[in-house]
């Protein structure tokens, strides 16, 4: 983008954040070729919260529809949910998730995000994972934002086939095919 006036930049900033509320200040600063501080000041003037708050606002709406899990049981922040159809969550990776030597995120965190999303998308009181065929496509590092997207592909009675793909920007980093089983709370396990 060429040099914009403050008013033009703020107008475009509002538009861009409405279209993609999960962009970080750094990503926005790069897009506008300005400092992160300039983006923060613009956001404050416009009354736009930081990315973590924007994610939480989306999550509040999605969490109210959950049946099979409680809010803290979904790994990452649940941002979209249409039961028995699709769900999405975002996870911002941290040092605690990484292998110390390489700063690459350990696979069980990525799997956990995908598996918990496969559970959350099912419209049932109790959902259990029957099996999962997974593939890790690309390493994920500390401070990266990954988005998991689950889609229910098939439902036969209490058996569901759920496909989950996890992305870093436009790159698929993980994919999994999950066989899930829905139960009622009174069912014998």
- CATH number among 1.20.1250.20, 3.30.420.40, 1.10.510.10, 3.10.129.10, domain 54-183: 3.10.129.10
Lowest mean pLDDT among 22-31, 55-64, 87-96, 162-171: 55-64
Higher-confidence residue of 165 and 54: namely 165
Lowest mean pLDDT among 63-77, 78-92, 151-165: 63-77
Element (DSSP H or E) covering residue 140:
none
CA 98/CA 103 separation, integer angstroms = 5
pLDDT the model gives residue 2: 63
pLDDT the model gives residue 66: 60
- Domain ranges, ordered by start, for the chain: 6-48, 54-183
Judged against a pLDDT cut of 60, whether residue 143 lies above it is answered with yes
pLDDT in tens, 100-132: 999 999 999 999 999 999 999 998 889 999 999
Let me know: does 114 contact 66? Beta carbons within 8 Å: no
- Tokens 């049981």 belong to 73
Task: Give the residue ranges of DSSP H helices in 47-129.
Answer: 51-63, 107-120
CA 124/CA 182 separation, integer angstroms = 6
Q: Does domain 6-48 have CATH number 3.40.50.2000?
A: no
pLDDT the model gives residue 73: 80
What percentage of the chain carries pLDDT values higher than 70? Answer: 87
Lowest mean pLDDT among 17-21, 136-140, 164-168: 17-21
Q: Is the pTM of the predicted complex or chain greater than 0.85?
A: no
What is the mean pLDDT of the segment spanning 139-152? 96
CA 127/CA 72 separation, integer angstroms = 16
Higher-confidence residue of 134 and 20: namely 134
């Amino acid at each position: 983008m060429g040099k914009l006036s403050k008013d033009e930049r703020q107008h475009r900033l509002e538009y861009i954040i409405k279209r993609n509320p999960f962009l970080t200040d750094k990503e926005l600063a790069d897009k506008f070729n300005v400092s992160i501080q300039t983006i923060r000041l613009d956001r404050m003037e416009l009354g736009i919260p930081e990315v973590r708050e924007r994610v939480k606002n989306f999550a509040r709406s999605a969490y109210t529809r959950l049946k099979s899990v409680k809010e803290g049981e979904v790994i990452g922040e649940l941002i979209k949910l249409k039961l028995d159809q699709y769900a999405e969550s975002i996870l911002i990776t941290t040092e605690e998730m990484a292998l110390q030597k390489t700063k690459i995120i350990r696979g069980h965190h990525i799997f956990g995000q995908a598996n918990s999303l496969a559970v959350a998308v099912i419209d049932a009181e109790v959902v259990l994972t029957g099996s999962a065929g997974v593939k890790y496509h690309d390493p994920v590092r500390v401070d990266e934002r990954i988005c998991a997207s689950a889609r229910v592909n098939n439902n036969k009675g209490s058996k569901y086939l759920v496909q989950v793909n996890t992305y870093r920007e436009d790159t698929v980093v993980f994919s999994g095919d999950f066989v899930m089983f829905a139960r009622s709370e009174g069912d014998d396990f």
